[in-house]
Amino acid sequence: MPYTVLRTCRSCGASNRVPARHLSDAGRCGSCKSPLPPLDTPLDADPQMFESVIAEAQVPVLVDFWASWCGPCRIAAPEIGSLAREMAGQAIFLKVNTEQHPELSERYRIQSIPNFLIFKRGRQMFQQAGWGGREQIQRRLQSAGQFAAP
């Protein structure tokens, strides 16, 4: 069974199961049939969600590796949230707490945070340690979106 993410309808409050491959698509609430826009907020990802979204997403995926004690992570978080709203339907944003999921940090050799990875159709396209600014991340996502991965 494909991995699903619960999305709450803004009109009626109903929970809707959205497959990872459709997180960037607009849909309709299963209950009230109101529009359910593309995902526009970063998702806190556990290893299972991470694997599914990376593998199934039809758009680039930005992964923000962070920790609650990290000052630069706290500075970057609102900018990443704003960028997620702005790029809804064009990219998916995941957040991985390095303290809760060290196995993901180890797999991608994360040695400093914040650390940003961009994936397209399961393939890592970019990695950046440190917060280089919103514009740089946005350019990298747009570039990955134009790349035609096999």
33's tokens: 């049939």
Burial class (CB in 10 A: 0-12, 13-18, 19+), 45: buried
Known catalytic residue at 70:
yes
Active-site residue identified among 9, 12, 29, 70: 70
CA 82-35-88 angle, to 5 degrees, is 25
> Rounded CA gap, 70 and 112, in Å?
10
Bridge partner list, 15? 8
86's tokens: 């702005």
Active-site residue identified among 12, 29, 32, 73: 73
Q: By the 8 A CB rule, do 46 and 26 touch?
A: no
Q: Which residue has the tokens 């396209």?
A: 125
The residues that are catalytic are 70, 73
